Amino acid sequence: MSGAKILLLAISMMIHYSAWSQFAFNIPNREGQRVHNYQTIHVAVSGKLALCSHSEKGSINLDVTGGKPPYKFRWNTNETTQNRTNLNAGTYTVKITDAEGTEHIERIIVQPPFPLILNPVVKRDASCGSGNDGYAKISVKIGRNDYEEDSPPYKITWSNGLEDVWEVADLAPGTYIVTVADKYNCDVSLSFDIKAAAEGIKVTSTTQDPDCDSPNSGKIQLNVTGGEAPYSFIWSNGASSKDLTNLTAGDYQVLVKDNKGCSYQASFSLHAPESFQIDSKIVQPACLNSTDGIIEILPQGGQGPFTFLWSNGQTTSKATALAAGNYSVKVTDAIGCTVEHQVTLTNQSTLALAILENRPVSCSGKADGGVSIQVKGEYGKYKIKWSDGVEDLLQRKDLDAGDYTITATDESGCAAAVTVSVGETSKIQARIETALDVDCAAGETTGVAWVSIQGGKEPYTITWNTSSANSREITFTSSGILKATITDALGCTVETEAKVDFPNQNTQGSRLDFQYRKLVISSEPEVMVEEEILFESEIAPEFIAWEWEFGDGKKSAEKDPVHIFSKAGDYEVKLTGYDIFGCSMVESNRVQVTSPTELIAIPNAFTPNGDGLNDTFSPKVRAISSFQLEVFNTWGEKLFITNSLESKGWDGTYKGQLAPAGNYLYRITLKTLDGQLVNRTGGITLIR
């Protein structure tokens, strides 16, 4: 069936339902009737009186005035509360009785869902670049307001803040949402994008000023993106090419236009060069390796400001903290002209120290390290001083591991120093590591310990407190303290220890079992498709984790999960338990799942005489998700209604009185598990 035919059928059904409810019973959609002519009872009805979707529920709120409080309420569905919630679409009748017995009957209809469908958004994207000239228009294809008289116009809300207009203009590029709501606040939203035009024109440039030797060597090169090619160029000097060359110093402007007429304007300036000379002031360094030399550069002429780049990385006009040596500097003025300059610094003393020997300490903690030094380039006599206070020695053989600074000072006052790090043979570092070797099948556990060693000199000798073996690895079967002594080839020794815990837990023979049952009690013994099945487990405390596999590709880590099988079949359900060692145990059961078939059995007569046999009119149904039974007399007056699958049916009474023997009409509306709506109407004979 096409979408149009479905829509016409939905409209036809709604109109038919409204006409039947008003004329078959001679009662409008909501009308009050007074049974007793006492003080008038007035009722104002509010609430959710129309549903926006099949999953939504309605509500009815009654504001009762008049009569004499307190009031009693009796609904056609036997509820006695004043207000109602969680209602399906349909007709509801309530009888209100005040303290003096005055009665008032109120009839309310909760409207069923009605589609609100919008036509696709008609839109126009932005033109140049990110211009704000986008446009959008919406319209309703079908809605409840179009088929109900005196309905107010739709409520329209645009995400840019506009309301109650069908079209908007001057939209910037971006994403927008428009929401349309009918008179019952049922709404629908559409999202749409206003796209920017092809990206706006963007211009980047590379310029080159005329150099110091050629006044017409300037260049301007453009890189144009965005917009819509081809592009045209209009320069202030009359040129129409993209790039300009052979330019003199000056200002230049360009207007760039794309194929759509969008434009971009840019300006450029080229600067003329100016030559300059360099003078320098020098302060020589005093001693070898001293860094008190200074070179100051003094540019003469040119166009400032100047930048400086020295061969040692300094970037100021005055290079400081300089040792003897050759230095060069590149000086660049503001327009890019450069001049290079070289300077050589020298000093008188070349005092320096050289390390002839650096012998490390043999074992950690010993004082047998040795250092020898040599003095070179001294001016006259010199003095030696060690950082630990020893003086005038060029060789030491009794040093601990550590850093030593030796300083020599000659007659010119210049000093030279060197720092020596006396090391030691890499210190032995060791630690005991442990692991458990678990045999899940046999239920046996063995501890394994090994020592990790770094440093020292191989080979190593290892002694354990629990074993006489000279081995890096041993086994253990109880808790306690493990100690290991490691001796390297130099005789250096280190000890290490570790506390080990040996577990006694074994899950072999532990309890792991489960049963299953329907979560909702049912007269059907079989497990049906889409039924909720509760799996109840018996899991021993030795298991710290578990996993269910239901045989349909789904899993669960809950202890007592609820599962729904979506297809019929024979499923093997497994429960796997895991202990602290990673060992597992599996328990499985098979579950047979059956596809339900719908059943609708309607009797044509009943005898409500209280003998316990056929006392109520109650159709038999199965594989049904929702159900409604209505009973009428031949005048069209509704005598009974129920929406409960657990209802016992009509007992042959109306308002507490026995209905006379005779013929009656019924209407049954139900929905099958696969979502199909089924309607049944017919006659039933009441026999007294």
pLDDT of 27-85, one tens digit each?
334 444 444 445 799 999 998 888 888 888 899 999 999 999 999 999 999 999 999 99
pTM as predicted: 0.30
Phi first, then psi, for residue 169 (nearest 5°) are -130, -175
Residues of the chain with CATH 2.60.40.10: 117-194, 202-270, 276-345, 352-422, 512-594
Q: In the sheet where 369-376 sits, what is the strand order?
A: 352-359, 369-376, 395-399
Regions of the chain short of the pLDDT cut 70: 1-38, 129-131, 149, 198, 504-509, 522-524, 596-599
- How confident is the model over 397-439, as pLDDT tens digits? 888 888 999 999 888 788 889 999 988 777 888 898 988 877 7
Q: Residue 83: name the closest of 44, 29, 34 by CA.
A: 44
Q: Residue 652: name the closest of 611, 624, 622 by CA.
A: 611
Contact status, residue 517 vs residue 527, Cβ threshold 8 Å:
no
Phi first, then psi, for residue 74 (nearest 5°) are -135, 110
Contact status, residue 472 vs residue 451, Cβ threshold 8 Å:
yes
Tokens 């360099």 identify what position? 278
Q: In the sheet where 276-283 sits, what is the strand order?
A: 276-283, 293-301, 318-322
As a CATH number, domain 429-500 is: 2.60.40
Q: What is the pLDDT of residue 51?
A: 83
d(CA 105, CA 97): 9
Q: What is the pLDDT of residue 509?
A: 57
d(CA 49, CA 682): 30
Question: What is the third-level CATH fold of 512-594?
Answer: Immunoglobulin-like (2.60.40)
d(CA 219, CA 206): 8
Question: What is the third-level CATH fold of 117-194?
Answer: Immunoglobulin-like (2.60.40)
Structure tokens at 587: 């328990």
For 599-686, give the CATH class. mainly beta
Which of the listed CATH numbers 2.60.40.10, 3.40.190.10, 3.30.2130.10, 2.60.40.3680 matches domain 202-270?
2.60.40.10
d(CA 149, CA 146): 8
As a CATH number, domain 29-110 is: 2.60.40
Q: What is the pLDDT of residue 13?
A: 32
- Torsion angle, alpha carbons of 64, 70, 658, 614, to 10: 90
Which of the listed CATH numbers 2.60.40.10, 3.30.9.10, 1.10.150.120, 3.30.499.10 matches domain 352-422?
2.60.40.10
For 276-345, give the CATH class. mainly beta
d(CA 636, CA 71): 29
Query: Ramachandran region of residue 185, left (φ > 0), alpha (ψ -120 to 50) or beta?
Result: left
Q: Which residues contact 554 (CB under 8 A, 6 or more apart)?
A: 563
d(CA 205, CA 659): 98
